[in-house]
């Protein structure tokens, strides 16, 4: 398998350019990316927050071993399920991969924040999660934590809702670890190399629902239930087992619902997730959108890519 993870610094011998393929789940991003990468003799960098974890395969729609042999893939299977990959670490490894790939790299996936961290050059405080500090802060309650935030970082408090414990805790965590407000450490530093952003979506909403339903059926047929059962037996109460698809199959295994109900819930929740992804990606005017169900999809995208590469030279 040709999945890769980089630990070295980017090579200066390659002139970077980047093709991004994003959009809602189940729209065919991986298939299009593999076809493009083969045409360009290039490589794929995953921008999916669950593909980084080993053993979570079927329920994440991870590219198969055959697909990963067809085209080199980066940032897949780089973490144990018990580990946490921070956004800062993802950004570091993705940037390293972009710098080391000798042809235009393809950044592909549906995790909008991963893509934004690269395309916008997000400045991310290099502070990993501190479980003990977070536990101490949680014990104080959200109201008290937010009041602390207003005192130490009023700029962040203006942007963070008083009832948002996740962002409140993160802002306090960064402040107490670094001694500097998170608002002073954030911002953007976009890369200097040219970037082409492509969005895939089903222009007919019913088409995406059919895709989601078919993919759910295919996952179950491929052994998704056995995968969830084995992971639950090995790891117990793991946060990843509460994510989309794994949670619903877990309910079935616990006897709470039958398998048909688990599949129906997976389809429903995947459709809701896709709507959230669409909202995120559609907010970026730089993305050129293509219909996943277009019979000449590849030809249209390839023409768009060729024009980009001509201008980027």
How much is the pTM? 0.86
pLDDT by residue (tens digit) across 9-57?
Answer: 333 334 479 999 999 999 999 999 999 999 999 999 999 999 999 999 9
According to the model, what pLDDT value does residue 8 have?
38
Instruction: Specify the CATH architecture of the domain 131-185.
Output: Orthogonal Bundle (1.10)
According to the model, what pLDDT value does residue 254 have?
97
According to the model, what pLDDT value does residue 151 have?
95
**3-class SS letters over the chain:** CCEECCCCCCCCCCCCCEEEEECCCCCCHHHHHHHHHHHHCCCEEECCCCCCECCCCCCCCCCCHHHHHHCCEECCCCECCCCCCCHHHHHHHHHHHHHHCCCCEEEECCCHHHHHHHHCCECCCCCCCCHHHHHHHHHHCHHHHHHHHHHHCHHHHHHCCCCCHHHHHHHHHHHHHHCCCHHHHCCECCCCCCEEEEEEECCCHHHHHHHHHHHHHHHHHCCHHHHHHHHHHHHCCCHHHHCCCHHHHHHHHCCCCCHHHHHHHHHHHHHHHHHHHHHHHHCCCCCEEEECCCCCHHHHHHHHHHHHHHHHC
For residue 110, which of 241, 292, 293, 254 has the smallest C-alpha distance? Answer: 292
In the sheet that holds 44-46, the strands lie side by side as 3-4, 73-74, 44-46, 105-108, 18-22, 195-201, 288-291
According to the model, what pLDDT value does residue 186 have?
84
pLDDT in tens, the chain (313 residues): 445 544 433 333 344 799 999 999 999 999 999 999 999 999 999 999 999 999 999 999 999 999 999 999 999 999 999 998 989 999 999 999 999 988 799 999 999 999 999 999 999 888 888 889 999 999 999 999 999 999 999 999 999 999 999 889 999 999 999 999 998 888 888 999 999 999 999 999 899 999 999 999 999 999 999 999 999 999 999 999 999 999 999 999 999 999 999 999 999 999 999 999 999 999 999 999 999 999 999 999 999 999 999 988 6
Query: For the stretch 174-201, what's the b/e string if a residue is b when 16 or more beta carbons lie within 10 angstroms of its beta carbon?
Result: bbeeeeebbbeebeeeebeebbbbbbbb
Domain boundaries, the chain: 3-122+189-312, 131-185
Same fold, 3-122+189-312 and 131-185: no
CATH class for the region spanning 3-122+189-312: alpha beta
According to the model, what pLDDT value does residue 222 have?
98
CA distances from 213 to 49, 50, 117, 294 (A): 22, 20, 31, 19
According to the model, what pLDDT value does residue 133 have?
93
């Amino acid at each position: 398998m040709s999945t890769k993870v980089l630990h070295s610094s980017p090579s200066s011998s390659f002139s970077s350019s980047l093709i991004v393929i994003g959009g809602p789940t189940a729209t065919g991003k991986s298939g299009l990316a593999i076809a493009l990468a083969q045409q360009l003799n290039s490589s794929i960098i995953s921008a999916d927050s669950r593909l980084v974890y080993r053993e979570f395969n079927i329920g994440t729609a991870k590219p198969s071993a055959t697909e990963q042999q067809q085209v080199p893939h980066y940032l897949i299977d780089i973490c144990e399920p018990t580990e946490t990959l921070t956004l800062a670490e993802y950004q570091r490894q993705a940037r390293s991969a972009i710098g080391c790939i000798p042809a235009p790299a393809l950044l592909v996936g549906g995790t909008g924040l991963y893509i934004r961290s690269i395309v916008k050059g997000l400045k991310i405080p290099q502070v990993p999660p501190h479980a003990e500090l977070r536990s101490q802060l949680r014990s104080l309650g959200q109201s008290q934590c937010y009041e602390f935030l207003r005192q130490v970082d009023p700029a962040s408090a203006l942007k963070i809702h008083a009832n948002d414990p996740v962002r409140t805790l993160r802002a306090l965590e960064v402040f107490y670890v670094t001694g500097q407000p998170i608002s002073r450490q954030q911002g953007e530093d976009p890369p200097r190399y040219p970037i082409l952003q492509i969005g895939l979506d089903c222009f007919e909403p019913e088409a995406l629902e059919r895709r989601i339903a078919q993919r759910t059926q295919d996952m179950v047929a491929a052994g998704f239930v056995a995968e969830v059962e084995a992971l639950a037996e090995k790891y117990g109460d793991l946060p990843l087992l509460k994510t989309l698809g794994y949670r619903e199959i877990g309910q079935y295994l616990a006897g709470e619902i039958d398998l048909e109900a688990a599949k129906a819930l997976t389809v429903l929740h995947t459709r809701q997730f896709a709507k959230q992804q669409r909202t995120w990606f559609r907010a970026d005017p730089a993305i050129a959108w293509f219909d996943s169900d277009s019979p000449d999809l590849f030809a249209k995208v390839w023409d768009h890519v060729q024009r980009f590469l001509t201008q980027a030279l």
